[in-house]
Amino acid sequence: MENLKEDSMKMHNFSAGPSIMPAEVFEEASRAILEFNGGGMSLLEISHRSKPFQDVMDEAHALVYELMGLSDDYKVVFLTGGASTQFFQVPMNLLNDGEKALYLETGVWASRAIKEAKFFGNPIIAGSSREANFNFIPKDLNIDPEARYMHITSNNTIYGTQQHWWPDVAMPLVCDMSSDIFSREFPLEKFGLIYAGAQKNMGAAGTTLVVVRKDMLGHVNRTLPTMIDYRTHIDNGSMYNTPPVFPIYVSMLVMRWIKKMGGVKAMEDINEAKAKILYDEIDRNPLFKGTTAVEDRSRMNVCFVMEDPSKEEAFMNLAKANGISGIKGHRSVGGFRASIYNAMPQSSIQVLVDLMRDFEQTNG
Amino acid sequence: MENLKEDSMKMHNFSAGPSIMPAEVFEEASRAILEFNGGGMSLLEISHRSKPFQDVMDEAHALVYELMGLSDDYKVVFLTGGASTQFFQVPMNLLNDGEKALYLETGVWASRAIKEAKFFGNPIIAGSSREANFNFIPKDLNIDPEARYMHITSNNTIYGTQQHWWPDVAMPLVCDMSSDIFSREFPLEKFGLIYAGAQKNMGAAGTTLVVVRKDMLGHVNRTLPTMIDYRTHIDNGSMYNTPPVFPIYVSMLVMRWIKKMGGVKAMEDINEAKAKILYDEIDRNPLFKGTTAVEDRSRMNVCFVMEDPSKEEAFMNLAKANGISGIKGHRSVGGFRASIYNAMPQSSIQVLVDLMRDFEQTNG
């Protein structure tokens, strides 16, 4: 009986990444592995140079342009290696030895980006919340006007903070949008380069989106390995070598779904409403409290703890017993983290909120 | 009626890569995208740090050790970026500025590896068949004993040549095995580093296998970006950052299948037999001829042309009408290329051979 119940239990996936995607994406991707496009073969076995896959690649590129409202001044490529590879690829392509770039240190990922930038230029920390375990976004910034760009992590998955304003600087912003891409609009004209690992809000692990304004490139005088030079991939439509076929296909399906849902602005409105439901309960329920500065709260990753940490295990068990998956907080913050990306339905958030209320009734 | 016939036609996928995989791999991968491991969630949405995926990663590593018969002196990592990334990552990790490495130039991929090595060391061409459009493997080699390694492409997909002997040199071999990994045994003790993009004989596009002998690393004095240093990935079990979950899972399934088939030696025997069927017909049939030196013929990619090139279109149409896919030769060679990787059944090769005989009857 216990097993039967488990088997039929609806799961609510709050994982930080890889993470929830629309059910229709899983269904279509599953079918494509058996047979793609009516051609009698799997998506995984056809040539990446074949028309059916070229169509996928073309649509994936076109959807990025459409969803972000990009002009031709921007180039779109699908790469591999995750944001961690961009941490060095960005400065290697954009900074000459000794040239300055500003970095906002808002978490461990930002710190890693700074570490890699030191190999190729002179990263300067414009602001840091390290001393507060990154529980807020620094607002009082030191802006060196000589810097070639300013690097920002738009959403900090581990800590649950998010950039809700953009620095008023003359140099272009370079932004790691891995965990909130396509979740909201932003002032494109401020951005020179945007990158995002796909596996949070854009698809399956295995591809990295890079959007770069053309005038950012061609400035450095070092010789770049062919695969590291963004221009290689721009000039070859992300097909200089065999691309990660399946991860790009899944990203294309997710972007199709976003478009069908009304686009990025529609997602933003939905995400605001979804996050409010959970934060309102955290603020109302005397057993729980948020871990970040209120004004910097992320609409993607909601981090919270219990006033009485000894009760956290009991709440975790209650959540698990009700199909809530992936809400254990990162070890550096503790407590809980509910990741509520684009594909997270409001109904699942309501299940979590109802459990918080139930727990208050029985343990308050 | 025409459509009905098309729909039910059995396809024979001779693509050079991405390429054929066992049907059971497609079936299991397709199921995993709907639900993985009985957990009520897709493989694509679970954390890469979760036990179910850690088990996949562990099994993938273990299967490489088992299928290749590796000792603990070797380390196994799954990376991204394809062989094209290894073209620069290998010399960046192994060569100091000015240090020599030997390269055997057996095709365009080998040439690209040489080009990237120039950024980080001093690649010396030990032999080249460029003047003959790479239709043979150079045997008369210039061996500089100071070279730190000798780089070989074990199988040349475009031209249909394959290394059937290994240079008798003191330095370790570094080998691009992208198109014949797990297809045959080789003398492991000669090899210091092996790499392979997965999408030909090992799985789906999106991951790259690297096998490296421990003593090869730690020699260079340049500072390596974290993601470029092989030791980062060795120390973190290929999980320093989010790995390409699905491509690694598919490689694991393919390796399970190879093991079930009897392992690499069994595959080698089958591959020899399969290739013989096709080469025998090419040699017997007066309409066709092979394009490479007989002693260097690849058992993975069989390249051939027609004595009368004007008949090639008609044969291609006959092949297509019978479900043969992907046999158009690379533009730099022309004619036909039948890629007959591990998963290619003998029955499909027989279909192709029968069509060559039929064509001889009607057009000879």
Distance from CA of A281 to the nearest CA of B (A): 26
B330, pLDDT greater than 90: yes
Cβ distance A31 to B30 less than 8 Å, yes or no, reads: yes
Enumerate the H helices of chain B as residue ranges: 2-8, 23-34, 51-68, 82-94, 108-117, 230-235, 245-260, 264-284, 312-321, 346-363
Could you give the CA distance from residue B233 to residue A113 in angstroms, rounded to a whole number? 17
Strand pairing of A191-197 and B100-105?
unpaired
> Residues with Cβ < 8 Å from B96, sequence gap 6 or more?
B121, B219, B220, B221, B222
Segment B93-109 mean pLDDT: 98
Segment A220-239 mean pLDDT: 97
In the residue annotation, B109 being an active-site residue is answered as yes
Q: In this predicted model, what pLDDT tens digit does every residue of B164-197 receive, in sequence order?
A: 999 999 999 999 999 999 999 999 999 999 999 9
DSSP A297: B
Strand partners, B196: B209
Question: Minimal Cα distance from B240: which residue of A?
Answer: A84
Question: Rounded to a whole number, what is the distance in angstroms from the first to the last CA of chain A?
Answer: 31
Classify burial at B145, counting beta carbons within 10 Å of its beta carbon; exposed 0-12, middle 13-18, buried 19 or more. Answer: exposed
Quote the pLDDT of residue A306: 98
From the list A11, A44, A92, which residue is nearest B41 (CB)? A11
From the list A30, A88, A207, which residue is nearest B227 (CB)? A88
Segment A246-256 mean pLDDT: 98
From the list A11, A33, A227, which residue is nearest B30 (CB)? A33
Q: Look up residue B251 and give its two tokens.
A: 């490689």
Q: CB-based contact (8 Å) between A223 and chain B? A: yes
Q: CB-based contact (8 Å) between B26 and chain A? A: yes
Q: Residue A98 CA to chain centroid, in angstroms?
A: 30
Chain A residues whose beta carbon lies within 8 Å of the beta carbon of residue B39? 11
Mean pLDDT over all residues of chain A? 96
Distance from CA of B6 to the nearest CA of A (A): 9
B-contacting residues of A 124-153, CB under 8 Å? none
Could you give the CA distance from residue A110 to residue A152 in angstroms, rounded to a whole number? 7
- Helices B245-260 and A245-260, packing angle to 10 deg: 140
- Counting residues of chain B whose pLDDT is more than 90, the rounded percentage is 97
Sort residue B169 into left (φ over 0), alpha (ψ -120 to 50) or beta: beta
- Tell whether domain A26-260 is in CATH 3.40.640.10: yes
Cβ distance A244 to B240 less than 8 Å, yes or no, reads: no
From the list B41, B88, B325, which residue is nearest A225 (CB)? B88
Q: In this predicted model, what pLDDT tens digit does every residue of A177-195 receive, in sequence order?
A: 999 999 999 999 999 999 9
For B78-94, b/e burial (b = at least 16 CB within 10 A) is bbbbbbbbbbbbbbbbb
From the list B119, B197, B246, which residue is nearest A204 (CB)? B246
Full DSSP string of B159-194: TTEE--S----SSPEEEE-TTTTTSS---GGGEEEE
Chain B residues whose beta carbon lies within 8 Å of the beta carbon of residue A323? 40
Architecture of domain B263-363: Alpha-Beta Complex (3.90)
| Number of CB pairs, chain A paired with chain B, less than 8 A apart | 194
Distance from CA of A68 to the nearest CA of B (A): 24
Question: Minimal Cα distance from A45: which residue of B?
Answer: B19
From the list A41, A88, A199, which residue is nearest B242 (CB)? A199
Could you give the CA distance from residue B154 to residue B179 in angstroms, rounded to a whole number? 8
Q: CB-based contact (8 Å) between B338 and chain A? A: no
Classify burial at B317, counting beta carbons within 10 Å of its beta carbon; exposed 0-12, middle 13-18, buried 19 or more. Answer: exposed
Quote the pLDDT of residue B8: 63
Chain B residues whose beta carbon lies within 8 Å of the beta carbon of residue A207? 206
Distance from CA of B9 to the nearest CA of A (A): 8
Q: In this predicted model, what pLDDT tens digit does every residue of A275-295 receive, in sequence order?
A: 999 999 999 999 999 999 999
Quote the pLDDT of residue A8: 62
Distance from CA of B198 to the nearest CA of A (A): 10
DSSP B1: -
CA neighbor of A245 nearest in space, from A183, A290, A203? A203
Residue pair A11/B41 in contact (Cβ under 8 Å)? The answer is yes
Distance from CA of B227 to the nearest CA of A (A): 6
From the list B10, B13, B115, which residue is nearest A45 (CB)? B13
Segment B15-22 mean pLDDT: 96
> Residues with Cβ < 8 Å from B270, sequence gap 6 or more?
B261, B342, B346
Q: State the Cα angle at B43 between B37 and B47, rounded to 5°.
A: 105
Cβ distance B80 to A244 less than 8 Å, yes or no, reads: yes
Q: Look up residue B315 and give its two tokens.
A: 């044969």
A227, pLDDT greater than 80: yes
Residue pair A255/A64 in contact (Cβ under 8 Å)? The answer is yes
Chain A residues whose beta carbon lies within 8 Å of the beta carbon of residue B3? none
A199, pLDDT greater than 70: yes
Q: CB-based contact (8 Å) between A97 and chain B? A: no
Could you give the CA distance from residue A34 to residue A24 in angstroms, rounded to a whole number? 16
Distance from CA of B186 to the nearest CA of A (A): 26
| 3-state SS string for B213-257 | EHHHCCCCCCCCCCCCCHHHHHHCCCCCCCCCHHHHHHHHHHHHH
Quote the pLDDT of residue A9: 82
Domain boundaries, chain A: 26-260, 264-363
Quote the pLDDT of residue A210: 98
Q: CB-based contact (8 Å) between A228 and chain B? A: yes
In the residue annotation, A274 being an active-site residue is answered as no
Cβ distance B204 to A44 less than 8 Å, yes or no, reads: yes
Chain B residues whose beta carbon lies within 8 Å of the beta carbon of residue A116? 225-227
Strand partners, A103: A125, A151
From the list B48, B205, B225, which residue is nearest A48 (CB)? B205
Q: B44, B115, B253: which to substitute to probe chain A, counting the most A Cβ within 10 Å?
A: B44
Q: What is the pTM of this model?
A: 0.97
What band does B364 get if pLDDT is binned at 50, 70 and 90?
Answer: confident
Architecture of domain A264-363: Alpha-Beta Complex (3.90)
B-contacting residues of A 170-199, CB under 8 Å? 197, 199
Q: In this predicted model, what pLDDT tens digit does every residue of A58-71 receive, in sequence order?
A: 999 999 999 999 99
Q: In this predicted model, what pLDDT tens digit does every residue of A116-171 receive, in sequence order?
A: 999 999 999 999 999 999 999 999 999 999 999 999 999 999 999 999 999 999 99
Q: CB-based contact (8 Å) between A251 and chain B? A: no
DSSP B342: T
* The two domains A26-260 and A264-363 share their CATH topology (first three levels equal): no
Distance from CA of A5 to the nearest CA of B (A): 12
Segment B196-219 mean pLDDT: 97
B4, pLDDT greater than 50: no
Sort residue A203 into left (φ over 0), alpha (ψ -120 to 50) or beta: left
Quote the pLDDT of residue A364: 77
B206, pLDDT greater than 80: yes
Full DSSP string of A176-201: E-TTTTTSS---GGGEEEEEEETTTT
Q: Can you tell me whether residue B135 is helix, strand or coil?
A: coil
Classify burial at A269, counting beta carbons within 10 Å of its beta carbon; exposed 0-12, middle 13-18, buried 19 or more. Answer: exposed
A2, pLDDT greater than 60: no
Helices and strands (H and E) in chain A: how many:
10, 14
Segment A74-79 mean pLDDT: 98
Chain B residues whose beta carbon lies within 8 Å of the beta carbon of residue A40? 7, 9-11, 323
Catalytic residue among A72, A75, A100, A176: A176
Catalytic residue among B75, B180, B200, B274: B200
Which phi and psi angles does B138 have, rounded to 5°? -60, 135
In the residue annotation, B214 being an active-site residue is answered as no
A76, pLDDT greater than 60: yes
